[in-house]
Amino acid sequence: MSVLNSNQGELPTRLEKSQINELPLIRFHGSIQSAGDIKSFKKFVSKLSKQKILGFDIECKPNFKRGPNNPPALLQLSTADQAFLFRLYPVMKLGPLVEILENPEIIKTGVAIKDDVYNLKKIEEFTPAGFEDLAPLAQSLKIEQTGLRNLTAIFFSQRLSKSAQLSNWQKSPLTPAQQAYAATDAWISRELYLIMKARLAATTTGT
């Protein structure tokens, strides 16, 4: 699957919330697969270990009271046409996922990755490698806004839904809306990485 059709001309450095709200919704239309135990983790990791670039994200159950944040309940990894949702709750182990998270040959890309890695380490210690945050890429292209929703609007003129963001990610099973939300966030991270790298390469070569 190729990169989404994107704005090939001059990019806005920022967009107002009202402008983004007028854009059409974007949604992942590929296959979504969910894993809830170490055996299924291992099965999906075996598939993903052959990939070079993966969209990456995590979800935590929101905490509406004062106190420590909840640990990650879900870890998402996406290829061009397949999204894999790893249920970390109540397993509370990364298990075979560490193989992907520590592999420098597999790029895992998303936003606020430093925070996500920090939170994943609360579950199980690992040595992260191959992670690339989208924010520095955006800044290299003179983009002022680096959130996933903003970047999707700027590069693809489409809007990410945030309706499921504050839902209960420890819920079992996840609702179809939660699955679509989680898959889309990971997938669009990969698409944004590809289009930003392509634009940076074109800038470097002067084309």
| 120 Rama sector, left if φ>0, alpha if ψ -120 to 50, beta otherwise | alpha
Cis peptide before 72 (omega within 30 of 0): no
Q: Which pLDDT does position 207 carry in this prediction?
A: 52
pTM attached to this predicted model:
0.93
pLDDT tens-place values along the chain, 207 residues long? 445 656 566 888 899 999 999 999 999 999 999 999 999 999 999 999 999 999 999 999 998 777 788 999 999 999 999 999 999 999 999 999 999 999 999 999 999 999 999 999 999 999 999 999 999 999 999 999 999 999 999 999 999 998 899 899 999 999 999 999 999 999 999 999 999 999 999 887 665
CA distance 169 to 73: 6
pLDDT on residue 10: 81
Q: What is the pLDDT of residue 6?
A: 60
| Fold type of domain 17-205 | Nucleotidyltransferase; domain 5 (3.30.420)
The pLDDT value given to residue 206: 61
Contact 56, 111 (CB under 8 A): no
Percent composition of the chain: helix, strand, coil (DSSP 3-state, to 5):
35, 15, 45
What does the pLDDT read at residue 2?
45
